[in-house]
Amino acid sequence: MRPLTYVIPKCLLPVGGKPLLERTMRYLGTYDITEFVLCVAYLKKQIMDTFGNGSSLGAKIQYAQAEMPLGTAGQLRTAASFLDSTFVAMNGDIITNLNIAKLLETHKKQGAIATIALKEFGVKIPYGHLVVDREGRVKAFEEKPTLNYMAIAGVYVLEPRVIDSIPGGVACSLETETFPKLISQGEKVDSYYEEAYWADVGSMADFERVNNEALDDPSIVVPQRPEQVD
């Protein structure tokens, strides 16, 4: 997202005229989530000055501060003193209308230490795909297929003891370090999938696309109250 992020943190970039992070908090607010801990590092003063204590959003905001970015797990570790019950964690550069109530319900039913929301991601192969046997004989052919994978959506429900497995003061990743460690220790890490809108504002092309989509569908910027869990 450079050069934009030289002077403004990614989470404050406007989507449909509103800061991305404001949209995220309003979205979570439709599920009656109104207490937030923002893990901040890069250009953190801009974020803190923009949202203050959260009163303008009808929310309560506290800040877990670091002097440098520490990765998805390391940054979460800075919020340890604020977390004493089941909580939702969400990346700051995504937009989604995933049903958080259903995600929480799944987590509760499964009794996991962590539940990871998933999205389906397709990779278009630009070449013809061949299936061959051990002798090199062609058995099947498919022209430029799309391979579909279940990818991490950047939304999680976590138990506080997840924090105990994260080292303090060092960069660390939930996806490549913390979750594999928990699984190796025999902890239950679950997943949740539903078809939902999802966008990662991770490049200029994504930023432009999401803003164009917001013009066509205002609910991307102003989330609607979700359906109730059955």
187-218: pLDDT as tens digits: 999 999 998 888 888 788 888 888 888 877 77
> pLDDT band at 228, cuts 50/70/90?
low
Please name every residue paired with 118 in a beta bridge, in sequence order, or none if there are none.
152, 193
The pTM assigned to this predicted structure is 0.86
Is the confidence at residue 230, as pLDDT, over 80? no
Residue 225 lies in a domain: no
pLDDT of residue 225: 61
Asked if the structure places residue 87 within a domain, the reply is: yes
Q: Residue 216: what pLDDT?
A: 79
Return left, alpha or beta for 52; rule: phi > 0 is left, psi -120 to 50 is alpha, else beta: left
pLDDT surpasses 70 at 30: yes
Please check whether residue 126 lies inside any domain of the structure.
Answer: yes
What is the per-residue pLDDT for 1?
56
Per-residue pLDDT, averaged over 52-70, amounts to 93
Q: Which residue has the higher pLDDT, 151 or 203?
A: 151
Question: In this structure, is residue 33 part of a structural domain?
Answer: yes
pLDDT in the model for residue 169: 87
Position 153 in a domain: yes
User: Is the Cβ–Cβ distance between 104 and 28 less than 8 Å?
Assistant: no
| CA atoms of 100 and 31, how far apart (whole Å) | 7
Q: How far is CA 157 from CA 83, 104, 110, 165, 174, in A?
A: 12, 7, 12, 16, 12
Mean pLDDT of 56-73: 93
The pLDDT of residue 222: 64
CATH number at residue 205: 3.90.550.10
Taking the alpha carbons at both ends of the chain, their separation in whole angstroms is 40
Least confident among 31-35, 44-48, 182-186, 205-209: 205-209
In a domain, 224, yes or no: no
pLDDT band at 176 (very low <50, low <70, confident <90, very high): very high
In a domain, 92, yes or no: yes
Q: Is residue 140 very low, low, confident or very high in pLDDT (cuts 50, 70, 90)?
A: confident
Judged by DSSP in three states, 198 sits in strand
State the DSSP code for 178. I
The kind and range of the H/E element at 37 are strand 35-40
Number of residues assigned to the chain: 230
Confidence of residue 44 (pLDDT cuts 50, 70, 90): very high
Q: What's the total number of domains in the chain? A: 1
Residue 89 pLDDT exceeds 80: yes
Domain that residue 87 falls in:
4-217
Q: Are 189 and 92 in contact (CB under 8 A)?
A: no
pLDDT for 205 equals 83
Instruction: Indicate whether 168 belongs to any domain.
Output: yes
